[in-house]
A and B are shown apart, each in its own frame.
Chain A
Amino acid sequence: MRQERNNIFAGIDWILVILFFALVAFGWLNIYAASKTETDTSLLSFSTKYGKQLIFISLTIPLIVTILFFNSKFYEQFASIFYFLSIFLLLMLFPFGKEINGAKSWFNFGVLGLQPSEFAKAFTALAIAKLLSDRLYSLKLIKNQIKAFIIIFFPAFLIFLQPDAGSAVIYLSFFFVLNREGLTSNYILLGTAFIMLFILTIYFGYKWMILSTFLLLTILVFYLIYRGGKRFFRFNWHKIISVYLVIGLFIFGTGYVYKNILPSHQKDRFDILLGKKIDKRGIGYNSYQSQLTISSGGLKGKGFLKGDLTQGDFVPEQHTDYIFSTVGEEWGFIGTSLVVILFMALMYRIIYLAETHTNKFGRIYGYSVASILFFHVIVNIGMVIGLLPTVGIPLPFFSYGGSSLWGFTILLFIFIRLDAHKNYDW
């Protein structure tokens, strides 16, 4: 037993490791295709995007070994430390961060930049796992719910202030974790309902929305009164009025914010997605080009390095957020659906393994990992294939960028470490 414990690779889930390397390798091939220029030759070089990425990838090996080197207990015990460390780094960005594209998200060390928000996700997951795994902790209590919300939303809020709304949105994925651990589904249902209201309001305009929702509500109230009699109204009139108020205010507020406060470039993103605006040159250019590029791949794709739209740099940010469009053009439907299936397999496997943990900490952490990956994949691919508005977040393991790659490596391999030890009593 002891000997096996000393072998850092003992008990690790090779399926996850293989999926990880498959995604990273395929990702690099596409980064190579998207950032290759005629003149470059050397692969390992800081002067090209693909060269840098290859260096980042090779550096994940020592990183993985280091992560696997520590005992599972270590991650549980030091969860809070890691969390506070990432909060500290996020705070330090405000004075020392380097502003790129209008957001202070980076520390700059010469050739290398570091993006703390990419690491904060893993550490927040550790902190949440630690909090929820306490035997005395129950999410039925409002007090405990608030504690969890603070842990989740504090880093999200700091990231939002950078401002990097895309990375902040990812923290909503923790609601799946809380839900899994006993938080009532009402939060998710309510959230979904308000998102629906939000989208419908933008689409139809707030006047029509207020009219039609009030009409529906009134019909519902009359139905309930009909069913419940006069007493129903006598006991519930304050609830009915507050529902009217909340919904009315929300729709009106959405309409107002959308029309008068939301910056026009963000407004355009929604308008283009909802088909209210057509724009192939301006803000809609990215989305239009990436969809066109993906379409051009057809079933089998044009072949590695043969995508002329990719090679001609027609899709902006193709090596980072829009990397999936390269897959679409050069590898076709076969390539894109393979990537989607690989991600699905990865997430299924993580959830499946997490559910086998007898230890609560490992299970909650694993569930967080799956949820975070899920959010990233849905937001990124959804954007690239034109189903969701433009939100700049990377595709895990795929997109160019050291911080993102390492952040996800840490996220995944801590789970692999925890999983390897799940059968031992800590």
Chain B
Amino acid sequence: MQRSFLLYFLITLTGCIFIGRLFQLQIIRGDNYDPIHNAAVKIEYAYPERGYIYDRNGKLLVANQLSYDVMVQPNKVKPLDTLEFCRLLKIDKQNFLKRFKKAEKYATYLPSVFLKQLAKEDFAYLQEKLHKYAGFYIQKRIIRDYPIKAAANVLGYIGEVNEEKAKKSNYYQQGELEGKDGVERQYENILRGRKGKKYFRRNNLNKVTGSFENGKYDTLAQNGQDLTLTLDIDLQIYAQKLMTGKRGGIVAIEPSSGEILALVTAPSYDPNMLVGRKRSKNSVILFKDSITKPSYDRGLLAAYPPGSPFKMMNALIGLQENVINQKTTFRCYGGFRYGYRKDEFMKCHCDIYARPIKLKTAIAKSCNSYFSNTYKRILEKDNKPTEGQNNWSKHVKSFGLGNYLGYDLPAGVPGLIPDGKYYDDRLNYSWNGSSIISNAIGQGEILTTPIQLANFTAAIANRGYFYTPHIVKKIDNEKIDNENFTTKKNTTIDKEYFKPVVEAMFEVFKTGTGKYSQVKGIKICGKTGTAENFILVDGEKEQLEDHSILVAFAPKDNPKIALAVFVENGGYGSTIAAPITSLIIEKYLNGQISSRNRYREQNMLAISLQEVYDKQIPKQEEIASGTK
């Protein structure tokens, strides 16, 4: 018996190992086995039609069109007249061989795309001849069509799902299309609908041998739902036109609802560029351009210090915290001294020397000293500046600043509204209001985006509340019921304090920096501002022409539109931003530009800042190459 122990032992050991391995294969791994999604089941998809997109007035913005792909299944291809075939497809023979090899490499017994998106004319001609070429056939695909060549940044585009995502996803297959940006991406699930599926049994040669479980799992395709945007496409087109030759962004909101009326970034592009055969060539132009950045939505992403428009914020907080009232006066001596050293002095251009200045005048004339004093008082109201700054920051954030606004578009940045801790962490001395006085006039650490400023303006227009801005108005003609967009958001400032601020903003367009951009019959309230901007040259900051910023709403009572205009290197707000603002407001409220203001329209269409932009280019190149 002893001698046979070895074999007994080995048989037992092997048996245990085998059963263990089978347990691992069948019980542990078998658990993840999907009876439907495996090699023996073939799924055929029926593709639904993607939903259309309309503007707020029912104008069609995005529709669908058919596109034709030439498909090939290599094992069915018979010897063919390559020359004629190449001529039909308008490719050369080398290209033909390359494409054919690629298809063979993928799988000889499966169809794959041979040539994408034929032109319609080519298709008609090819279809007549195609029967001669076994193994080749044409597959229709639905692609997007944009009847109106505007709002590309809002609409976004669709493209093939990337490989990684297709692998992980339980919906998308490789080669399928999905929304890549803008509304197309944000509302992908609504627009795309649901694919229909039919299950078949198949064998190892990909031959269908029958239906799977009598079609128990089969589903029908469900078409996508249509979207109605809040966008007024006429206004959008007009605003885009006004921005020709300039870089920047415009965001217009209806204050009473938070609906985005126009969202402009300049330069922009024709959305049809990302459809069809020229697509890959065009996408290089659009996505690789690091200077004009046509694919960068400045209205949503350009975060800069807001400058003077922020003075209204400090006025409101000052009033709410009762550190100033309408009658409070400060004197300005050509600036504000915040320290004893010579350079610790903030200049002011209000030109009211040493006379008492009240709030209304301070806003209208944009007096830096007045708001520096106000800001200091806000911070010093509490004993510790940290707490004062926290309190200030709380008020500011209630306007939707300093964080993602929560609108329904994929692009966005939070901006920055510093609180007390922010400075505690960064300043290693005991700081106070004077240390961070730039915040008083919207400079310093504060960062806001045009859409945040537009929303801030809408909150002023509403005298104390706002609705989160949003771009979609209806889904399949049903009004949206997203609570985030339909509930009123109150700011921490009481209604009564808005009155003097609104009056002051009205004054800006009546007598102040905006007075040359008045529109007869429309009471515009607004505020111009500039954001300083620097580039690094030789490791040193070099100041460029200021970006101009303007916020406005109109009419003063019962406001219909609030907007923020941002023009890169636009200089003083009064020269470019203000006329653009007034034109947009006039167009929106009156439907047209009165003959009296035509000259203004002509001027704005003609102005180009290209020269200013061109000046920056060599510098940027030198920085990139490190030669300077």
A residues engaging B (CB < 8 A)?
A: 38, 176, 179-181, 185, 188, 291-292, 294-299, 308-309, 311-314, 328, 332-333, 336-337, 340-341, 343-344, 347-348, 351, 354-355, 367, 370-371, 374, 377-378, 381-382, 385-387
Q: Looking across the interface, which residue of chain B has its beta carbon closest to that of A291?
A: B25
B11 touches A347 (CB 8 A): yes
CB <8 Å contact, A328 and B204: no
Contact B7 A337 (CB under 8 A): no
Supposing A340-B18, A351-B8 touch, asked if A296 and B23 sit within 8 A by C-beta, the answer is: no
Point out the residues of chain A lying under 8 angstroms from B26, CB to CB. Answer: 294-295, 297-299, 328, 332-333, 336
B39 within 8 A of A: yes
Given contacts A180-B3, A332-B30, 14 further A-B contacts (CB under 8 A): A295-B26, A295-B30, A296-B38, A308-B41, A312-B40, A314-B40, A333-B22, A343-B15, A344-B11, A348-B11, A351-B7, A370-B7, A374-B7, A385-B25
The answer to whether A294 and B25 touch across the interface, beta carbons within 8 angstroms, is yes
B1: chain A residues within 8 A (beta carbon): 355
Cβ of B27 < 8 Å from any Cβ of A? yes
Contact B4 A294 (CB under 8 A): no
Q: Taking chain A's interface residues, is the majority helix, strand, or loop, or is none over half, making it mixed?
A: helix
The answer, yes or no, to whether B292 is at the interface (CB within 8 Å) is no
Give, as a whole number of angstroms, the nearest-CB distance from B548 to chain A.
59
Beyond A176-B6, A308-B40, A367-B4, whether A340 also contacts B27 by CB under 8 A is: no
Binary flags per residue of B185-213, CB closer than 8 Å to A gives 1, else 0: 00000000000000001111100010000
Q: Which residues of chain B come closer than 8 Å to A328, judged between CB atoms?
A: 22, 25-26
Q: Which residues of A contact B201 (CB under 8 A)?
A: 308, 311-312
Chain B residues within an 8 Å CB radius of A348: 8, 11
CA distance A341 to B19 in the complex (A): 9
Say yes or no: is B31 at the interface (Cβ < 8 Å to chain A): yes
Residues of B within 8 A of A297 (CB): 26, 30
- CA–CA, A201 and B205, complex, Å: 39
Does B12 interact with chain A (Cβ within 8 Å)?
A: yes
Asked whether any CB of chain A lies closer than 8 Å to the CB of B291, the reply is: no
Interface residues in chain B, defined as those with a beta carbon under 8 Å from any beta carbon in chain A:
1, 3-4, 6-8, 10-12, 14-15, 17-19, 21-23, 25-27, 29-31, 33, 35, 38-41, 201-205, 209
Alpha-carbon gap, A312 to B4, bound state (A): 44
Using A297-B26, A308-B201, A312-B203 as known contacts, say yes or no to A387 and B21 having CB atoms under 8 A apart. Answer: yes
Q: Tell me which residues across on chain A come within 8 A of B22, comparing CB atoms.
A: 294, 328, 333, 336-337, 340, 385
21 residue pairs bridging A and B, Cβ less than 8 Å apart = A179-B3, A180-B4, A180-B6, A296-B33, A296-B38, A299-B26, A309-B39, A311-B40, A312-B201, A312-B209, A313-B204, A314-B203, A336-B26, A337-B19, A340-B15, A340-B18, A340-B19, A341-B15, A347-B11, A370-B7, A381-B18
CB proximity of B22 to chain A, nearest CB, Å: 5
- A344-B40 in contact (CB<8A): no
Give the complex CA separation of A367 and B4 in angstroms: 9
Which A residues lie within 8 Å of B38 (CB)?
A: 292, 296, 308-309
Q: How far is the CA of A314 from the CA of B206 in the complex (A)?
A: 10
The number of inter-chain residue pairs (CB within 8 angstroms) is 118
Question: Which residues of A lie under 8 Å from residue B21 when comparing CB positions?
Answer: 385-387
- Give CA–CA (A150, B10) in the complex, Å: 26
- Residues of B close to A343: CB separation below 8 A: 15
Q: Which residue of B30, B40, B41, B209 contacts A298 across the interface (Cβ within 8 Å)?
A: B30
> How far apart sit A206 and B446, CA to CA, in the bound complex (Å)?
65
Chain A hits for B41, CB < 8 A: 308
Q: How far is the CA of A377 from the CA of B13 in the complex (A)?
A: 13
CA distance A176 to B27 in the complex (A): 34
Inter-subunit contact A351/B40 (CB<8 Å): no
Contact partner of A312 among B25, B33, B202, CB < 8 A?
B202
Contact residues in B for A340 (Cβ distance below 8 Å): 15, 18-19, 22
Q: Which residues of A contact B7 (CB under 8 A)?
A: 176, 180, 347, 351, 367, 370-371, 374
| Interface pair A344/B27, CB less than 8 Å apart | no
A197 to B41, CA, bound (A): 44
User: Is the Cβ of B204 less than 8 Å from the Cβ of A312?
Assistant: yes
Chain B contacts for A312, CB-based, 8 A: 39-40, 201-204, 209
Partner of A295, one of B25, B39, B40: B25
- When distances are taken between beta carbons in the complex, the residues of chain B under 8 Å from A337 are 19, 22
Question: Given the interface contacts A351-B7, A374-B11, does A314 sit within 8 Å of B30 by beta carbon?
Answer: no
- From A299, A336, A387, B17 is in contact (CB under 8 Å) with A387
Closest Cβ of chain B: how far from A209's Cβ, in Å?
25
Q: Which A residues are in CB contact (< 8 Å) with B19?
A: 337, 340
- Judging by beta carbons under 8 Å apart, are B33 and A295 in contact? yes
Of all A-B residue pairs in the complex, the 5 with the closest CB atoms, nearest first, are A308-B40, A298-B30, A312-B203, A333-B26, A312-B40
Docked pose: A385 CA to B204 CA in angstroms: 20
Question: Is A179 a contact partner of B25 (Cβ separation < 8 A)?
Answer: no
Query: Quick one: closest B residue to A314, CB to CB?
Result: B204
Q: Once bound together, how far apart are the Cα atoms of A296 and B38, in whole Å?
A: 9
Given contacts A295-B26, A344-B11, A351-B8, contact A313 B18 (CB under 8 A): no
